[in-house]
């Protein structure tokens, strides 16, 4: 993950950059969910990132 979060399609698993303005997967039309890098999120909350 290049960011602390990204889009992931719940149907095919395609991962997309969150800077793209997407509402559905361009590969299969499935729904996108937000997947977090919890390690990065915790670092940001602790003030280390």
User: How many domains does the chain fold into?
Assistant: 1
- Indicate whether 14 belongs to any domain: yes
Distance CA 20, CA 30 (A): 16
- Indicate whether 46 belongs to any domain: no
- Indicate whether 9 belongs to any domain: yes
- Indicate whether 32 belongs to any domain: yes
- Indicate whether 23 belongs to any domain: yes
- Indicate whether 47 belongs to any domain: no
> Using one digit for the tens of pLDDT, what is the confidence trace for 1-49?
557 889 999 999 999 999 999 999 999 999 999 998 888 778 878 876 5
What local confidence, expressed as pLDDT, does residue 32 receive? 97
What local confidence, expressed as pLDDT, does residue 49 receive? 52
Query: Which residues span the domain enclosing 26?
Result: 5-37
Distance CA 20, CA 32 (A): 12
Asked whether 4 and 36 are in contact (CB, 8 A), the reply is: yes
Asked whether 15 and 8 are in contact (CB, 8 A), the reply is: yes
As beta bridge partners, residue 5 has: 36
């Amino acid at each position: 993950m290049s960011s602390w979060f990204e889009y992931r399609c719940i149907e095919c698993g395609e991962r997309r950059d969150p800077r793209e303005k997407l509402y559905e997967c361009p590969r299969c039309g499935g729904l996108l969910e937000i997947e977090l890098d919890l390690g990065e999120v915790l670092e940001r909350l602790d003030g280390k990132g």
